[in-house]
Structure formats: C-alpha cells, structure tokens
A and B are shown apart, each in its own frame.
Chain A
Amino acid sequence: MVFGAVLLVRAQNPSPTESNTMMQLMMSQAPVDISSPVVVTATFDPPVVRPGELSVYRITLNATEAAIKLPAQIRVPKELTVRPTSQGQSLHAANGMIRPMTTFNHAARASRPGFYGVPAFYIEVYGKAVVVPEAQLEALEELPADHEPARRLVVETTGTNFFVGQSIGVRACLFGSRANTIEGLAQLQINGDGFVADKNFRASVETIERSNRAVATLVYQSTVKVAATGLLKLSAQAFTAGIDFGGPIVIRGQVTIPGGPARNILLDSDPLVINARPLPPGELAGFTGAVGKFSCDPPRLETNTVRLGDPVQLSVVIRGENGAGQIVPPPPPRLKSWQIFPASAGEPVPATESKPPGVAFRYTLIPVSAEIRATPAIPFSCFDPQTEKYLDLTVAAVPVTVTGEALPAEIAATLSNTELESEPAKKLSLSGLALTPGKTAGSLTPVQSRGWFPFVQLSPVIVFLGLWQFERRRRFLELHPEVVRRRRARRELRRTRRLLNRACAARDEDGFVRRAIQALQVACAPHYPAEPRALVCGEVTALLDPADRDGRGGEIVQQFFDAANAARFALTTQPGGDLFARQTELDAVLQKLEARL
C-alpha cells in the first residue's frame, strides 16, 4: 500500500521538460518599453513654404498609439489651417526592448506670408499630461530654387469610377528628391472605408516624367476590392525605411539610395475619391459576385465512364486578370439524378501564352440514376464593368456514361427523396426602395410610456362617475316630482310674465287678460297638482295669503277672471274697466305666488 502510494505521488509531480513551449516563446519576446520618459517632437516639414503650399505638421513621441490622447482641436493662429491626415505606430528594437514610436500627421497651410507658431499644448500619454513643444512655420512669397516641397505619397488607380465588387489596381508612389534619392517604405497600408485591401505589394523603382523632369519614383503596386457603394476615399500611408524595401525590388533607371539608419518618418497621401456604383439589376443565374473580365475554360471530367454511385470530379477553371483568386465558385444545381458537393477551395492556375492566370475549382459528383447522359450545366455569370453587362459563363455539360443497375446500399440509405426533390433555396436580397411613406405614427415611444396615457385610461372612470351622478339625480327627481313641477312652473311663469308685459305694452286687452289668467294658473298649478288650464278663480285665490285673499289681491284676481269669462262666454261685449292700470297690483300678486314655488 505504501509503495503504491509513493508511486502515485511520484506520477503526479510535473517534470521540468514538460513546460509549455508556447509560454517559453512568449516569455522570450522582448518587452515593450513603456517606462522610458516620453519625449515629444513637433515639426513642420518643410519649415518654410509659400502661402497656400502644404506643410506637414508632425508630432512624434515614444509611446504606444493606444495610450495617447490628442485634443480634438489644436489651437493655431487664424491664418494657419491644420487638419489631421494620418497617424501610425512603428516598433523598433533597442537595448533588448521594443521601443514604440507614434506619429501624428496634420496638413498645414498658411494663407498669408508670415511667421506662424503652433503654441505648446498638453496631451495625455499613459494617463499623464505631456507637453508638445512649440513648432514654427514660415511662409514666404519667394523661396530659394532648391526648395523641396513636403514629401508625400501619391495614390494612383486605373480610374475613379468602379462597380462594387470590382478589383482595382492601386499604385502608391514616393517621388525621389531633386538628387534622385529614394528610400524604402515600411508598414505601407492602403486606407479607406469600403475597400478590402490586399496585403501583398510589388515594389519597383521607375523613372516618371514630372514637371518636365525625369524623377526616380518608388512604386508599390497592389489591388483593392471595392466593397461598398458611394463616394469612397482611398489613401495610403507608410514609414520611411532607408534601404529596407521590404522584399525584392525591380529598379529601372539610375537612382541613389542613401545609406544610414532609417528615419521612420510617417508619410501619407491626399485621399483619392472613388465613385463606387452599385451593380445594376438583372443579374444572371449563378452570379456569385465576380466583377471583372473573366472567362471559363471547358470543364474537364475525371473520367467519362462512371459506375452508378461512384464519385467523379469535375474541374472548372475560371480565368481573369484581376481578382480571379477571390472568385466564389458557383453553387451546384440540386437535381434528382445527381448528388453534387460544393466546390473545394480554388487552386491557382498559371497563365499561358494566350490566357491570363486563373483558379481551378473541383466539384464532386455522384450519379444516382442510370439514365444520366451528361453532367449538369452549372450556372455561372460575372459582371463586366467595361460593357456594364452581365456575362453568362455557365459551365457546360460534359457527356458521361453511367454503368451499373442499382445504387450501392450505403448510398441509397443516405439519400432521401425529399432532399432530392426539394426546391433550391431562395436567395435572399435586399428589397427595393419604398416609394411612399406608408404607415405613420406620432412617435416611436409606445403609448403606455407616454405621460398622457394614464389620464386617457382614467377618462372612462370620469364618464362612469358622471353617469352615476346623472342616475342619482334622475332617481331623486323621480321620487320627488314636485321639485320638477315647481321648476317647470317657475320657468313657465317667467315666460308668461314676459308675454304679459309685451301685451300690456301693445295695449292688447284680450291678450293681456289671457296672459294674466295663464300666469296665475301656472303659478298655482304645482300646489294641487293640476293642469294649469283647469284651475278656476276660487282655486287661485285659495292659495293667496288670508290678508290678500280678502283684500285687494283677491279683488284683482277676481277682476281678471271675470274679464276672461266675459270675453269668452258673454253674448255681447261689456265694458270691463281699465285692466292695464292694474298691472302693478297683478305683478305684486304674481310675485308672491312665485315666491311660494
């Protein structure tokens, strides 16, 4: 037991030789120097220019790019415009450490002759404030003959109008000095939103005619692919690298390459505006994004006689000058009689005397029917930017003879009828532009989050409360009808008194008497209750105060009723006296009767 336990313990101790090789590699890398004091330089290159001429305001410091924060705007004199153009970081080995150097380039132009200084300002590096020293620029109308303009890269392309998906050749040029000296470039990169850049460059030195002078020019050539539409900007930046050209270089003409260590100056170019147009509609079947001048070689089948259920390879070569290596092979058709596997990754095919280079794709096909006579045609097309049309490059069918009577059992078991008979998947694409605004809303905020929503939801409560109050009042009035009668009588009495006054003013005796009787009846009806027209003189006087009943009030009432009865029933007209003069006394009676309502 003890011996076994000892063995177990020994087996669990790690051996020094089993340490992680990757960890060793990582630990052997030189550390990045972030502890040295930060030294900042700020210069104008060149320091003397003509008004309007470009000078590069360059800030360089020994720190990592990620740790540096420049202010959004640098304070400069108003005659001087400074605009950021590029920034980059380079790493250099020194004293067993990796020393980072970061450069920020700005394009500076002075609008008038004079002496301009960019005052010192603070930037943040590794969380601490560091001073960028003052830099000065002089603008003079007249400059010496040997004045060298600001050294910059120049980006050239074969044109400025392209289609999305098109590969375009790009040249980044660095013109030599007056003495025809050139130096190499390191960390060259092509910048631009909407482009996919190839990291490989071919370097050469050429002699280019410029301002009536043959100038030695360092040229780096590569290709970029247009990946977006619209107005796109393409530019380049690189560090000067002395005699290091980053690889083999072809030199044509006489040039001078100065020796000495590289100065690692960040150079950049003005942006080149590229108009990238979308592909027109009407793409043909099998279009997988190939834009350019392409051709398809006749397909080759591995063998023209194949047994039922055995795989056979179909090779397709697609050739083109630019971008053949980035072609996506067309998807194979889905057929009942064939089981076809998508093409494997393309292999490069060299150019021939008459044909450009290309890429070869291999499809694996398995015949599952004995009635097959040829391989299926594989739809493929490309877009030719020169003719602005889609070209049909369908891979032609190849005759084939299928032998055998039945599928091997293992092949038949893996195939399913629904898979063979299913429709090919519908290719997704973006919709067209909506030509009308469509469904609108006041706001995207949902109503339940808006301030007025709870109040709107509470409004039915107010409605229900209102209905409840209405119903209460209605029931009260139902139980107390005299309230309604009195209210109506008051309203009617006021109306009748207005008519009475009008009849009196018009000296309409009949109307006056009639309205007077009506007013007296309306004022007394609620007390019985009765229909006002049914009341007689005695019933009216019964409601007067005892003093009025036996006094002047009763007499007035009696007179008016007598006059009314006479007008209604008398055979002859009888003089009734001046009733208009009794209006005031009548009003007094009516007022007392109204007060009792």
Chain B
Amino acid sequence: MKVRGAIFFLLASLTMLCAAANDAPTGDESFREGVAAFNSGDFSKAAQTFRASSEQHPSSGALLDLGLAEWRRGRAGPAVQAWEQVLWLDPFNGAARNNLRYARQFAEMSDPELTWNEAASTWLPTNGWAWIAGGSLWLAVALVWLPGLLRWRRAGWQQALAAASLGIFLLSLPAHVGIVTRAKIGFVLERKVALRLTPTEESETVATLPAGEPARKVGERGEYFLIRAAQGLGWVERKQFGLIAAPARAVSARKPERSP
C-alpha cells in the first residue's frame, strides 16, 4: 500500500510540476496601460505596450489586443500573426478566430494550408498534446511493468487501462508531430516583401508577398529565412517574417514613398 501511495504521489507531483511550468505571472501593468492607450486612440503606444506584455508573459488577451492595435494602425501582417498566436495558446478563443476570418476576408488574404495532423493539433492547446503523449505512454508502461515488479496481483482493469493509454499515446502522436511542423508556419509582416532567389540584398526577386501571407520556414542563413509560400520558395529577411511560435516583433519603419 505504501508503495502504491508513493507511486501515485510521484505521478501527481510530476503533473503539478508540469502544470506549474505553464503558469506564469502576467504583465498586468503593461496590459492595463495598453488598454488605456487603445481606448484613448493611441494605437501605436497600445501596440508597443501589448507587445511588451506578450513578450514578457504571452497571454491570449494581450495578443488579441495587440492584433487589434496593429490592425488599427493598418499593419495587417503583425495583426494576423498576433491572432494566430492567440489560437496557438488557446484554440477555443472565438474572438481571435472571428478576427482572422474578418481580416482575411477584408484584405483578401489566404489561410495557411494545414496537413491533416496539423489540423488535428489545433484541437487542443499547444502543450496539451505533448503532455497527453508523455503521460499516456508512461501510464501504459507503468501499468504493464509495475504489477510484475511489485508483485501485485494482475487485474483486468490494469491491462485495459494500459491498452487504452497506449492507444491514446498512438493517437496523439500525429497531433504531437503536427505541433512541431505547425511551429514553422509564419506570416509576412510587411507590405510587398520581396521573395528573393538568394539570401542577399541584391538578389533577384522571385515574387512579391503581401502582408499576412502565410508561409513555412524551411531553413535560415544569417539574417534571412528560407520560406515556402504559395508563390514559391525563396528567401526573406528575418524582420519581415514572423513565426507563430516566436514572440511578436515590432515591424521596422517604412521607407519614404517613392514616386512612380
């Protein structure tokens, strides 16, 4: 009995440790400042404050508001990135889903194309699949191995639970992989970004990408990312492309308008 108690205590501690790893104190002060700035119409300051809050402690509310502030400033790329990050943290956030639908319809942007396992990975928060896979695997191993090790009488429910856990583990694997591949999806942050043939400034332009265009990061070199967009494969500058699983970055100031 003592051994069983010790095992359950250890498993519970592990679970609480993992849950604690996800909990973090929020940048409440920055968040409140951002809300005040947004309500007074200073969207630049609001965006700056929400970005600082979300870099410090990513939260769905700060990212949603960051997206709204960036949209008001006319920066569709960072807005779409921020709302996608809300869904990354909280797939059940209806406001972010609605805003993305609105933005894509308004600006005629395309959705990122997801494979079937990436689509499955959107059903739960990002870290949920990893803990489900890990927890179910070790539960199955424990239920198979521990009774023999500790000379407990083998019961039918132990084997059934072990089989169920193993089944959950196998079923969660595709979504687990989907999280890893979906983390490489990003969005073009600036307007008319040149998709270059080589990672140099003087390189030939393969295509021009609009703000908010989704693409997948394939590689990187120096200050450039190699991405695959609908328009093709090419290189863009790091500052022009924002990944879902990376903190939202301030978009650089635009150059003065050039005459035709």
Contacts and interface: CB of A to CB of B under 8 A. Distances in A.
B59 A439 contact: yes
Task: Identify which of B85, B149, B180 gathers the most chain A CB atoms within 10 Å of its CB.
Answer: B149
Given A446-B126, A448-B179, A467-B3, A440 B57 contact: yes
Nearest to A191: B257
Interface in B175-212: 176, 179-180, 183, 202
B95 interface: yes
A430 B102 contact: yes
Interface string A429-441: 1111111111111
Interface stretch (B137-145, B161-169, B226-234): B137-145
Nearest to A66: B258
Nearest to B72: A229
Given A446-B180, A459-B14, A440 B59 contact: yes
A277 B41 contact: yes
A457 B136 CA distance: 11
A449 interface: yes
Contacts, number: 184
A162 to B, nearest CB: 13
A441 B59 contact: yes
Contact of A437 (B62, B68, B126, B245): B62
A453 interface: yes
Interface string B44-78: 10000000010001111110110010011110000
Interface string A81-94: 00011111110000
B33 to A, nearest CB: 13
Contacts of B68: 430-431, 433
Interface stretch (B19-27, B110-118, B213-221): B19-27
A439 B90 contact: yes
A252 B229 CA distance: 57
B10 A463 contact: yes
A275 B40 CA distance: 12
A443 B99 CA distance: 23
A73 B72 CA distance: 31
A444 B88 contact: yes
Contact of A194 (B38, B74, B141): B74
Interface string A446-464: 1111000100110110011
Contacts of A470: 3
Interface string B29-45: 00100010011011110
A434 B183 contact: no
B130 A448 contact: yes
Contacts of A435: 35, 61
Contacts of A90: 259
Given A230-B72, A230-B73, A460-B14, A187 B259 contact: yes
Interface string B127-158: 10011001000100110011001110000000
Contacts of A194: 74
Interface in B226-246: 244-246
A229 B41 contact: yes
Contact of B89 (A65, A228, A429, A439): A439
A193 interface: yes
B183 A446 contact: yes
Contacts of A275: 41
Contacts of A434: 60-62, 64-65, 95
Interface in A463-518: 463-464, 467-468, 470-471
B5 to A, nearest CB: 13
Nearest to A237: B259
Contacts of A428: 98, 101-102, 105
B247 interface: yes
B7 interface: yes
Nearest to B17: A456
Contact of B149 (A86, A447, A468): A468
A447 B127 contact: yes
A193 B191 CA distance: 12
A467 B254 CA distance: 62
Given A438-B90, A446-B180, A189 B105 contact: no
Contact of A444 (B85, B101, B149): B85
7 contacts: A228-B73, A229-B41, A444-B245, A444-B246, A449-B245, A467-B7, A471-B149
Given A442-B23, A445-B246, 7 more contacts: A229-B43, A430-B68, A434-B64, A438-B90, A445-B245, A448-B130, A456-B14
